[in-house]
Structure 1
């Protein structure tokens, strides 16, 4: 008898969980930015239960024979609603998913694309293999019910740097790094539209949990040299110029110089957290939060760089 009651309770919880996940509405509205090219613009705030983790830009390209999706969003529910939004615009099937990098707001919607080719850089697959469960758990903690039912799904194909034709659409896949160890960009040749992923932020403070700032700055220089007509950043509004590249570069250079200078002056972390932030960055969303996060995971390395090198003793 007790066993029957337990099964009934579990079933009730399962049904309640499914209903909660299904009830979160991301209100996704694809924005057409060029011929056959669409983006879904997320908020520029921090993760919250209110936004369901929708702080990311995703997109899709409609080719002759199908649809290419670029990033799957932060949850199973997002991925399903993203796919439904695509189906409202075209009867062509989704034939390919491309992931820009391993951060959870870009990849956790993959369950909606089961059975399809999902390609990304090898470094991204490695990061998800190693840290995917931790990323998933953290987003559950931050976002809550919108994540219900979400599980890790790994990419099943490698995206190689260079020209490729998918669904009759000519693309250029560009391998970069700096924001993470693997940052894939997708360039649509016909419209000169660049999906830059989180290598470019606009009007939103860059996130740096896996950043290598010198490498990131070098990658920004290479993006600056590209002949694009439209740039879709990982966070922030669609751009028709290089303003997002310049803003991201300016912030990263200031962050590097500020932390290096603080370490050389011998400041401890609480003191660094109290340093004034430049007035020009005040309009950036999530500035205080992202600065504090950057200090917490970047500053120890800058402090270490200031320590004197202890010479090795010669063997007797």
Structure 2
């Protein structure tokens, strides 16, 4: 009798846990054949299950294209069920737009397809996957259960790729990471900007090269203008806000670069830079102050070194 009660209690706990770890993914149609799954505008945390990324899928008429697979195996599995709630079409192509963990940690759910990415993203995911897993398990606990790094398997060549009714333009940029994939669906009028542009959210910088990133923002702006795309979907921040993600990201990077250049020329140490006030516009953005602290910690030593050389 006691054993039976113990088993029932265990099953009840597991059921409650499974319900608690529900991302509640709700596909939102943003164009013909195109759906968005929007993440929290925040830092990684247990209360959002580390789901801070905007993912999407396209029902092309000849299979589904998935754009980013989220921060965990659980997310990938729930994402795949969300896709199945909209279309019975099989998943044909899975795209990871860069090497950061929330872009590819859901790949386990697509093992039968295998994810695709640029060469630098594949190499980076292979190299850094275990460290990412350690960090996400520490920050988000049970949401990560059974998640293992599953780097993309198929290398992409930039260019046009037609699948069913949709022609996707796969465009390589860099600066946010060494290989940033941007996807233009010209027919749907959508640019999937990945991590090149952030909207109302502090940009992440562990792999950033600010000079290259600013050049990519210029290219992204020209791409949106010349294509006539009506929507630009960033991987982080409110996906459908009217705020100009390109201008916001450019402005923040210029400000961050100027702040650190001036601080280094004045001989300020890292602790002093961290303690400096942030403009009100940026203070309201998602993931502030945690992401700003990481920005400065990642980048400031190089500014100090450059100042010492001068």
Per the alignment, residue 177 of structure 1 pairs with 174
Per-residue CA deviation, residues 65-113 of structure 1 (Å, 9 max, x unaligned), is 1100000000011000000000000111111100000111111001100
Residue of structure 2 in register with 1:293 after alignment:
294
Which aligned pairs between 1:82-121 and structure 2 lie closer than 5 A?
82-121=79-118
Which residue does the alignment assign to 1:252? Answer: 253
Shift of 1:283: 1.9
CA 18–296 in structure 1, closer or farther in 2 if over 3 Å, else same: farther
Distance 1:303 1:277 in 2: 20
CA distance in 2 between counterparts of 1:201 and 1:52 reads 20
CA distance in 2, matches of 1:71, 1:195: 10
CA-based RMSD? 2.1
Q: 165-174 vs 82-91, which deviates more?
A: 165-174
> Comparing 75-84 with 115-124, which one deviates more in the overlay?
115-124
CA distance in 2 between counterparts of 1:117 and 1:141 reads 27
Say whether 1:65 aligns with 2:62: yes
2:132 aligns to what?
135
The SS at the match of 1:69 is strand
- Asked if the contact 2:107/2:114 (under 8 Å) is kept, the reply is no
Does 2:214 align with 1:214?
Answer: no
**Paired residues for 1:30-41 under 5 Å:** 30-41=27-38
SS class of match (2:197): strand
Moved more, 235-244 or 176-185: 235-244
Q: Is the 8 A contact 1:185 1:197 kept in 2?
A: yes
Q: Which of 7, 21, 24 is the equivalent residue of 2:21? A: 24
Q: 1:156 aligns with which of 131, 153, 156?
A: 153
Contact 2:199 2:243 in 1 (8 A): no
CA contact (8 A) 1:119 1:156 kept: yes
Mapped partners of 1:151, 1:23: distance in 2: 21
Deviation at residue 35 of structure 1 after TM alignment: 0.8
Quote the offset at 1:21 in angstroms.
5.7
Q: How many residues align?
A: 298
Return the TM-score normalized by structure 2.
0.91
Given that 1:21 and 1:146 are in contact with CA atoms closer than 8 Å, whether structure 2 keeps it comes out as no
TM-score when normalising by structure 1: 0.89
Q: Is the 2:56–2:68 Cα contact (8 Å) retained in structure 1? A: yes
Hey, what's the Cα distance between the residues in 1 that align with 2:236 and 2:272?
29
State the 1:195 CA deviation: 0.7
Q: Which runs of 4+ in 1 moved over 3 A?
A: 16-23, 239-242
Question: Bigger radius of gyration, 1 or 2?
Answer: 1
Q: Which runs of 5+ in 2 are unaligned?
A: 1-9
Shift of 1:48: 1.0
Mark the runs of 5 or more structure 1 residues left unpaired by the alignment: 1-12, 310-316
Deviations 1:147-201 (A, max 9, x none): 0000111212111111111244211001111111111011112112111111111
